Amino acid sequence: MRLSEEEKKARAILIKVAQGTLRTHKLGLIGYKEFWLRMSDETWGQGKRGEIVGWITRISGYDLARGRPPLNELVVLKGTEEPGEE
């Protein structure tokens, strides 16, 4: 499995979040909207969550296949600080 350029960019963002080197609304976590705005010039809308979930699912599978922890739990619903998707 190989990551697309878009997925590589998303993974780099998630790694910075995990390291605490990317300023987000809560240290170590990033909201869906925050994530989208860092990934795209397009306007945010709730419908974009599915695209984000697709990226983080593939990225987490990529990392798990290489013996690394998945990064999917870093993307949360801002008001709850809980992952929005399994």
Q: Tally helices (H) and strands (E) across the chain.
A: 3, 3
The count of domains in the chain is 1
Residue 82 located in a structural domain = no
Residue 46 in any domain: the answer is: yes
Q: Is 80 a domain residue?
A: no
Answer yes or no: is pLDDT of 10 > 70: yes
**Residue 13 covered by a domain:** yes
Span 50-78, average pLDDT: 89
Q: Look at residue 82 and tell me whether its pLDDT is greater than 80.
A: no
Strands of the sheet containing 82-83, edge to edge, are 30-31, 75-77, 82-83
**CA–CA separation, 47 vs 68, rounded Å?**
29
In a domain, 78, yes or no: no
What pLDDT, on the 0 to 100 scale, is given for residue 26?
86
State the residue range of the domain holding 55.
5-73
The pLDDT assigned to 46 comes to 85
**Token output for 61:** 């599978």
Q: Which phi and psi angles does 43 have, rounded to 5°?
A: -65, 140
Is 85 inside a domain boundary? no
| Structure tokens belonging to residue 17 | 């979040």
- For the stretch 33-42, pLDDT in tens is 999 999 999 9
